[in-house]
Structure 1
Amino acid sequence: MRQAVTIILSIAVLALFIGLGTWQVQRLKWKEGVLVEINARIAADPVSLPETPDKARDTYLPVVVSGSFGEGALRVLVSTKQAGAGYRLISPLQTDQGAILIDRGFIRVADEMPSVPEGPIQIEGNLHWPDDRRSSTPENDVSGNTWFARDLDQMAEELGTQPTLVITRQMTPAEPRVLPLPVTSEGVPNRHLEYAGTWFLLALTWSVMTLGLLWRKKRRNT
């Protein structure tokens, strides 16, 4: 009787692990579909900036904006695979619809701060509402102009703009000393394959442990 209960419980736990692993595989397929949609949206033809950009509706929306840069550039600490540690530069752009935030791109930590481009500027990029802040992210050093997260409301208040951010893909005329860091889907979390592997590994481990336990019990009873 006790052995039968053990077998039933073991099968139930094994079924749970396999079910969770299968669910994560299904989630992986769903997330891959979402990433395909995001990448297609990012690469679509740019449109004019909406009058009232909306996070739920307009995240990743490709836009083209024209205007002239205002004074100031905020430095956001970031690290890239290609160039290492550096800063994103966030500056105000005065447009016909008011002033907005522009993520101009990347400079290395050791580079001198480039001056803000003068004259009429046209920028192709993507609207974005970055989620940079984590529980371990320090507070922005506003007075020292070292930012650890792109907190749009705080940046907009500091530069006197709307809390609307366009991340540059292409600027005309270009800034030779600033490397654009366009929006990509790399920051979208997708760990479902890892989770699926974990659950299936637990299922395998559980099966081996259960079979070993049953084998030892059988030996003791013979």
Structure 2
Amino acid sequence: MVSLTSLLTYSRRLLPTLKTQNHAFYTKRSFFLPGPFKRVDGRFLGFGRQSSSTAAKAAEKGEDSFLKWFLLLIPATTFGLGTWQVKRRQWKLKLIDDLTRLTTAEPIPLPLDPYEVNNLEYRRVKVRGRYDHSQELYIMPRSPVDPEREAREAGRLSSSAETGANVITPFHCTDLGITILVNRGFVPRKKIRPETRMKGQVEDEVELVGVVRLTENRKPFVPNNDVERNRWHYRDLEAMAQVTGAVPIFIDADYGSTIPGGPIGGQTRVTLRNEHMQYIITWYGLCAATSYMWYAKFIKKI
């Protein structure tokens, strides 16, 4: 009982102290976190909400500014690609002109030095000698060179051209005393075997004009040459020379060397794909479209 009385007495003394401390706590709280205050027009304005709204607007403005300049990279990049294609087109046109000039120039005698020949690719040369038909090689599959048809069918997945092979025949140059390799031209698939075109197997000494070609590297997805079956898929001069005993010099006989009943000459592909104008139109068109979209979103609305 005495203890209970003492506890009640202590509580009465402690209560005013707690009220004083509690009042001080709320005073401090109201000082650091002020509530809404009244404006002149009578409306209440919350300080905390105003600060949050201002920060959100600032963040949003920063994001819009970043997005604005980031999206400007799209028209800038497409403009750069279009300009690069203009330069590529000029380079391609010059290359085509150079090849056309080389393949239409007056033929020169074939040099004896193979190293000198390596600097004459696509140059027209003239030789005189005899074919060795017993060691024919066949590069296949091939289709006859037709620049007009190839231009019409550019971009198609299939071609309407007849497939066959190019006949590569050792040619002994009587004036030079060496044997070279000559691409006599195209034959359809049904005339690949020599016995099917005996009229074209000339035995006499002939003079022909051809275009110097160098060795090729195997391109991706092109099969390896099958030496045992005599099926060649690309020009490997070292391997062809080793099989036939010729020196690694290769020329494409021109169309004038064609013998009735034999391979069709003139199978040098000098036409290069020139689609740069389409790329120029595409890139500059994208640049114009994206530039207008950027202007309409970020400039016009201002």
Q: Which among 287, 292, 300 is matched to residue 203 of structure 1?
A: 287
Q: What SS does the corresponding residue of 1:180 show, helix, strand or coil?
A: coil
Quote how far apart the aligned CAs of 1:212 are. Answer: 7.1
Contact 1:51 1:97 in 2 (8 A): no
Q: Give yes or no for the alignment of 1:134 onto 2:219.
A: yes
Q: Give yes or no for the alignment of 1:22 onto 2:106.
A: no
Quote how far apart the aligned CAs of 1:15 are. Answer: 1.5
Partner of 2:51: none
Q: What SS does the corresponding residue of 1:103 show, helix, strand or coil?
A: strand
Q: Give yes or no for the alignment of 1:73 onto 2:136.
A: yes
Partner of 2:204: 119
Quote how far apart the aligned CAs of 1:141 are. Answer: 1.9
Contact 2:123 2:212 in 1 (8 A): yes
Q: What SS does the corresponding residue of 1:57 show, helix, strand or coil?
A: coil
Partner of 1:9: 70
Quote how far apart the aligned CAs of 1:134 are. Answer: 1.4
Contact 1:42 1:183 in 2 (8 A): no
2:105 and 2:208 mapped to 1: Cα distance? 15
**Stretch deviating more after TM superposition (159-168 or 112-121):** 112-121
Q: Which among 228, 234, 239 is matched to residue 154 of structure 1?
A: 239
Q: What SS does the corresponding residue of 1:58 show, helix, strand or coil?
A: coil
RMSD: 2.8
Partner of 1:38: 99
Q: Give yes or no for the alignment of 1:182 onto 2:267.
A: yes
Q: 1:173 to 1:185 in 2, by over 3 A?
A: closer
2:226 and 2:273 mapped to 1: Cα distance? 28
> Percent of counterpart pairs with the same letter?
26
Q: 1:45 to 1:206 in 2, by over 3 A?
A: same
Contact 2:225 2:231 in 1 (8 A): yes
Quote how far apart the aligned CAs of 1:208 are. Answer: 6.0
Contact 1:121 1:173 in 2 (8 A): no
Contact 1:141 1:147 in 2 (8 A): yes
Query: What amino acid is the match of 1:157?
Result: Q
Q: Give yes or no for the alignment of 1:87 onto 2:148.
A: no
Greater helix content: 2
Give unpaired runs (5+ residues) of structure 1: none
Partner of 1:192: 276
Q: 1:173 to 1:84 in 2, by over 3 A?
A: closer
Quote how far apart the aligned CAs of 1:201 are. Answer: 4.4
Partner of 1:60: 122
Give unpaired runs (5+ residues) of structure 2: 1-60, 150-160
Between 1 and 2, higher relative CO (CA 8 Å, sep ≥ 6) is seen in 1
Quote how far apart the aligned CAs of 1:184 are. Answer: 3.6
Partner of 2:58: none
1:190 and 1:153 mapped to 2: Cα distance? 32
2:89 and 2:256 mapped to 1: Cα distance? 36
Max radius of gyration: which structure? 2
Q: TM-score, normalised by structure 1?
A: 0.83
Q: What SS does the corresponding residue of 1:104 show, helix, strand or coil?
A: strand
